Chain A
């Protein structure tokens, strides 16, 4: 066949192949069910476009601020048209539940429940020592309500429809989903309020939270008070304007232009305040004015200068192994070594140093082994090691940054730093540490944590002695004068009610530790007995006393869950209320020996607070612990009785507690070991780094770097706690480090000896060499 004859066939074949390829491409796109991801289109200009854009709600409808009951804005439909929402969803802050790789461990979410003594580390990432929330029975809804206060939306707060259907007890249909809150990070407006976000989340106003937090509008009402059947399309509740008020947003019309477009004051790189809203860490006992900023921040860098990301929001976290773990080679340029030394994780000079003016460190006199075995952060980051460590509070663990009338921040959990521990990359790095505490069922070697609600249900009254005493004191408060406060004196402490319906303990006082409990009234700095000792039969008794007794009894009658009717027994006279009137009678013989205020039940006068309650609150007074060993033993018995499968145990302070022949016994267990995660900030100035002063900053016989001891802490008041030396975390023998530290005492002598030797041998070698050279050249005669 001639050439021209073959050409049409070739053309037809090529066209067929192209058509098939096109069809296959279209089919693949259609099959994915997702629109093609938009390529990030940066035109090269370095300014941020003015974001004067129309707001759209979750139904992709435009928001007209002057309309009645407009819906909150939706980031998915307002920001999404230009910034592909699906791409962003896979980012570090949103994709924990679906991420293929977990990366270097970071701070876990800590479920803290003071009453049950729970400090449970949780993470959707597979980080050692943490529990997957799903494995411990926490649904996405539970997780959102627990930690949504510091979530940036998305992830568990924005479950798929299938996940919503799988959670019948959740209230997603009422609250809506908390979409990714772009403004949580990128809002440049001073109106952005992370505290408002937290409050809206706790009110279950999830779909409204971003609008309220950004200050786009004012949000009222609480979805948490609405019936589970309410839907956003139902509109306001006409029957209730005070309690179950439907969430509603009121936009400020003046913030919109005539085309209903809203101006967003945005930052391409989030400001540090936005990052710190969730990532702030501060020493617990340091005043705000004394706290220094990270040296990078002081030099004018922003968090996002190093922790960068593209549209996929896969943040550069800045650790050395990140580039190899994630495949993002650029990440190697944003580690300490990358910026300051121009080195990758293996020490290769593959990175251009000095990014953003990073100085090149001289490290004069530092032996090379330090750079092989230690992360840069060991010497440069976090507080310097000191006896007892530095206790810190983190935004997410201690609920920082939420301001309002109520106190949100908590002292628990106790987090300390720096603990130096070998990380996964074989280097020692400074880490934060928390001791887990939780109730669990043990099957074989595995522990499965029990949810706090389940523990509380099984424990009944065992965990509530403070509540019972507080209820009595609050009841008595009703009949106190303005300058009077009802108190309970027990042990060496004085307990008074607080505004949160709890107990405040003052003391220790000078009283005896074993003194019997006494109810009293604090007035003018002194405490007088609630029931004074007097003779009821005396003719000259003060009539005001009995009037006061009547008030007390009326107040005590209002106490919830009281074990009997209130009564006051003075000597052999019994005061009680009968039909609302004070009844004074001779005490029955069964009450002989009793005295003071109490509850009449089954013919006996029970004390206002049981011995168990008084003993428990007294033991815990002045401590941070919320449980006694007696309580733990009782709760373990109650959990066992409740029919739990497997043995029930409690973890606290680095020990596992279990019942052995009815008694509480403690022992070591891997599950009780502390959880640590690397810290990187704050970076200190060079002059404050370890080793700046001398090698003995670390290498001495008694350095805090190697020889401090960390004691297990937890909600349980006990002496059975773990004690670990800092060198044990590093995997280094304490004995060796002590001997090695001691060698630094003689090191100056060694230096002098070596210097003298060098000064003697050097010239001799020179003379011998010169003599040989001179003879060789004929300058010198034979010896």
Chain B
């Protein structure tokens, strides 16, 4: 139950955060007032309208066109297959894990579990390769900090989309590392039942963290990328 609540709250926070970011950075009306209440009203009105617009536009053809337009397909062959494996395994892991974790009292079982274990291995390998060869692109070196109250003032933290993306990457990598460890260690004769319970919970909450980080990263990435050109019809 706690896991369900945490998962829902984290997912809602990530979604609203991304939507809020887009609203604040792209919409004129967001800058028309400094009152938080007014901004919130305008935000939710925009969100509702945008949701309706997107849902009206959504169709298998649109999705196919969107997927076709992804830069993934234009990557060199090794990178292309690396990311296909990475995205594919992560999507299956998240879908199977959260569906069974949230909606099936018995938890993950049967063939979906076998698939989950298999995809887990693929995910760990892909993640390792990505961290090894792409991690340096996300190294964010902060300036040396002075001890002052500005350290805890969000307005002075210089939170930018690029920095959030970097943080999201490393949170994702850390959560992926924890997922790997908490999948490996329970298979070894090291921990008894209480330890197994802790590892299981750690696995689940690491999954929440990795999913939230992936959502933020993907949201910002997609937001930054120019929209594909519309077809003439």
Contacts and interface: CB of A to CB of B under 8 A. Distances in A.
Interface of A: 341, 361-369, 371-372, 736, 739-740, 743, 747, 750-751, 753-758, 760-762, 764-765, 768-769, 771-772, 775-778, 780, 782-783
Contacts of B110: 736
Contact of A369 (B107, B117, B125): B107
Given A754-B180, A765-B173, 9 more contacts: A361-B192, A367-B196, A372-B106, A740-B114, A743-B114, A761-B128, A762-B177, A765-B131, A782-B141
A363 B177 contact: no
Nearest to A752: B184
B144 interface: yes
Contacts of B139: 768, 771-772, 783
Centre residue among A363, A757, A762 by max chain B CB count within 10 A: A757
Contact of A772 (B114, B128, B141, B184): B141
Contact of B173 (A369, A754, A761): A761
Given A753-B124, A757-B125, A764 B180 contact: no
Nearest to A365: B189
Given A758-B181, A761-B127, A768-B170, A364 B117 contact: no
Nearest to A754: B184
Given A757-B127, A776-B142, A782-B141, A365 B173 contact: no
B114 A364 contact: no
Interface string B153-190: 00000000000000000100110110011011011111
B39 to A, nearest CB: 32
Nearest to A748: B187
Contacts of A369: 107, 109
A769 B177 CA distance: 14
Nearest to A778: B144
A757 B135 contact: no
Interface string B106-135: 110111001001101100110110011001
B199 to A, nearest CB: 9
B31 interface: no
Contacts of B145: 776-778
B200 to A, nearest CB: 6
B140 interface: yes
Contacts of B200: 368
Nearest to B188: A365
Contacts of A362: 192-193
Contacts of A750: 117, 121
B124 A364 contact: no
Contacts of A758: 124, 177, 180-181, 184
B63 interface: no
B131 A751 contact: no
Contact of B144 (A743, A747, A775, A783): A775
A256 B193 CA distance: 59
Contacts of A371: 193
23 contacts: A365-B186, A368-B193, A368-B197, A369-B107, A369-B109, A743-B117, A756-B128, A757-B125, A757-B180, A758-B177, A758-B180, A760-B132, A765-B131, A765-B170, A768-B135, A768-B170, A771-B141, A772-B140, A776-B142, A777-B144, A778-B145, A780-B141, A783-B141
A367 B186 contact: yes
Contacts of B106: 372
Interface in B23-55: none
A371 B181 CA distance: 22
B223 interface: no
Contacts of B124: 753-754, 757-758
B81 interface: no
Contacts of B109: 369
A374 B111 CA distance: 19
Main secondary structure of the interface of B (DSSP, over half): helix
Contacts of B184: 751, 754-755, 758
Contacts of A783: 139, 141
Interface of B: 106-107, 109-111, 114, 117-118, 120-121, 124-125, 127-128, 131-132, 135, 139-145, 170, 173-174, 176-177, 180-181, 183-184, 186-193, 196-197, 200
A754 B197 contact: no
A757 B186 contact: no
Nearest to A775: B141
A761 B114 contact: no
B157 to A, nearest CB: 12
Contacts of B174: 765
Nearest to A364: B189
A364 B131 contact: no
A341 B170 CA distance: 40
A751 B193 contact: no
A776 B181 contact: no
Contact of A761 (B117, B121, B176): B176
A267 to B, nearest CB: 37
Contacts of B120: 754
A764 B135 contact: yes
A782 B144 CA distance: 9
B138 to A, nearest CB: 9
Contacts of A762: 177, 181
A364 B192 contact: yes
Contact of B121 (A364, A753, A768): A753
A756 B197 CA distance: 24
Contacts of A768: 135, 139, 170
Nearest to B124: A757
A448 B170 CA distance: 71
Contacts of B111: 736, 739
Contacts of A372: 106-107
A170 B183 CA distance: 68
Given A761-B180, A778-B144, A783-B141, A365 B128 contact: no
B135 A363 contact: no
B167 to A, nearest CB: 10
B140 to A, nearest CB: 7
Contact of B192 (A363, A740, A760): A363
Contacts of A743: 114, 117-118
Contact of B196 (A341, A368, A739, A753): A368
B233 to A, nearest CB: 47
A364 B194 CA distance: 10
A366 B193 contact: yes
Nearest to A782: B141
Contacts of A751: 184, 187-188
Contacts of B143: 775, 782
A359 to B, nearest CB: 12
Contacts of B177: 758, 761-762, 765
Centre residue among A365, A371, A762, A776 by max chain B CB count within 10 A: A365
Contacts of B183: 754
List the 8 closest pairs (A to B, CB-CB), nearest first: A778-B144, A365-B189, A754-B184, A757-B124, A362-B192, A757-B128, A364-B189, A775-B141
A760 B131 CA distance: 9
A215 B142 CA distance: 93
Nearest to B126: A757
Contacts of B118: 743
Contacts of B189: 364-365
B146 to A, nearest CB: 9
Nearest to B136: A768
Given A761-B180, A783-B139, A366 B196 contact: yes
B141 A365 contact: no
Given A757-B128, A778-B144, A783-B139, A365 B180 contact: no
A238 B196 CA distance: 79
A294 to B, nearest CB: 24
A768 B106 CA distance: 39
Contacts of B144: 775-778
Centre residue among B141, B145, B192 by max chain A CB count within 10 A: B141
A363 B193 contact: yes
A492 to B, nearest CB: 51
B180 A739 contact: no
A769 B141 CA distance: 10
